[in-house]
Amino acid sequence: MNKIDITVIVPLINEEESLPELAEWIERVMRENNFSYEVLMMDDGSTDNSWNVIEQLHQKNSNIKGTRFRRNYGKSAALNVGFQEAKGEVIITMDADLQDSPDEIPDLYKMIMTDGFDIVSGWKKKRYDPITKTLPTKLFNWATRKMSGIYLHDFNCGLKSYRNEVIKSIEVYNEMHRYIPVIAKWAGFKKITEKEVQHRERKYGTTKFGLERFVNGFLDLLTIFFVSKFGKKPMHFFGVLGTLCFISGFFVTIFVIAEKIYDSYHDEVHRGVTEQPLFFIALVVTIIGVQLFLAGFIGEMISRNASERNVYGIKQKLGFSE
């Protein structure tokens, strides 16, 4: 397979107005810098005329290719399929709404190929979003920095560049596209940096993301943290907790029984073992310990027989060699 300089992956849904301008802009930048390139437009179940626009763009420029999903699977699915198809030495992702500037491409390429970074994440220092979007974003960026140890200002910026080896070594699913630097770091790619990039106001259409993405994003962060630490060894998590609970419950139970025997031997007033709330608490903790241990054991069995996460209903492809 012949490598090319740059693959630009553009996940999109219902962006028919912006696609021609974006394609022309990317083509101009590539031509001015003499890059060999391909543009992968990932139509994530658009209900407007986006796919027809992609077909027209492909007819004019064979470097523009497209993949069309049967329904909306989400940005992570679109990126993951794009990563599988990408042939470029450097992969650049950007949104289709023209809020990301293709003029950033040469510097993003240089930071990978010349400066030796694995990932360069865009940082939209000056944003044109409402406070209802920027404030939760800052909160999640802070939480991600603390949990991952990766000190980026804007994890969710759609404009990023990757070394080819990185995107071929990771899997992106659910809503985890915003945490690709975290996934990559735990996969062994630690040369991660950021670049301040221009943020443009949306020119066409409306945003496709609601406030629910912040709740989902936090849950996905916890998932990434757990899977990266214990995904291959779930017993190390559940087994340790289960053992601690079982031992704690067991010794408390022994203490309660021993205390009754001691009081009985010395003819002191005492309550029955089953009359003490501490006994039932210890019993519950012991049972929980056994359940956690079994959960770890079942997790180990599942992890050894896990099937593929990403099975997507691709409806059409355009411009790809089979």
User: Could you tell me the residue ranges of all domains in the chain?
Assistant: 4-230, 234-303
The predicted pLDDT at position 311 comes to 44
Q: What is the pLDDT of residues 19-45, one digit of tens each?
A: 999 999 999 999 999 999 999 999 999
Question: With the CA atoms of 33, 34, 40 and 41 taken in that order, what torsion angle do they form, in degrees rounded to the nearest 10?
Answer: 50
Q: What is the pLDDT of residues 159-207, one digit of tens each?
A: 999 999 999 988 887 777 888 888 888 888 989 999 998 877 666 666 6
The predicted pLDDT at position 147 comes to 75
Q: Spell out the per-residue pLDDT of the chain, length 322, in tens.
A: 567 999 999 999 999 999 999 999 999 999 999 999 999 999 999 999 999 999 999 999 999 999 999 998 888 899 999 999 999 999 999 999 888 899 999 999 999 999 999 999 998 877 666 655 666 677 777 877 877 788 888 888 889 999 999 999 888 877 778 888 888 888 889 899 999 988 776 666 666 555 566 666 666 667 666 766 666 677 878 888 888 999 999 898 888 888 888 777 777 766 676 777 888 898 899 999 999 888 888 877 776 665 445 444 666 777 776 5
* Cα three-residue angle 257-261-265, rounded to 5 degrees: 170
> What is the fold, at CATH topology level, of the domain defined by 4-230?
Spore Coat Polysaccharide Biosynthesis Protein SpsA; Chain A (3.90.550)
Q: What is the pLDDT of residues 80-94, one digit of tens each?
A: 999 999 999 999 999
The predicted pLDDT at position 322 comes to 56
The predicted pLDDT at position 74 comes to 87
> Across the beta sheet with 88-93, what order do the strands follow?
192-196, 119-123, 160-163, 88-93, 4-12, 37-43, 64-69, 314-318
Number of C-beta neighbours around residue 71 at 10 A = 10
Quote the tokens at residue 219.
């849950």
- Taking alpha carbons only, the member of 74, 176, 164 closest to residue 118 is 164
The predicted pLDDT at position 132 comes to 59
- Taking alpha carbons only, the member of 171, 3, 150, 29 closest to residue 86 is 3
The predicted pLDDT at position 312 comes to 46
Q: What is the largest distance, in Å, between two alpha-carbon atoms of the chain?
A: 98
Q: Is the pTM of this model over 0.85?
A: no
Give CA–CA dist 122/161, Å, rounded: 8
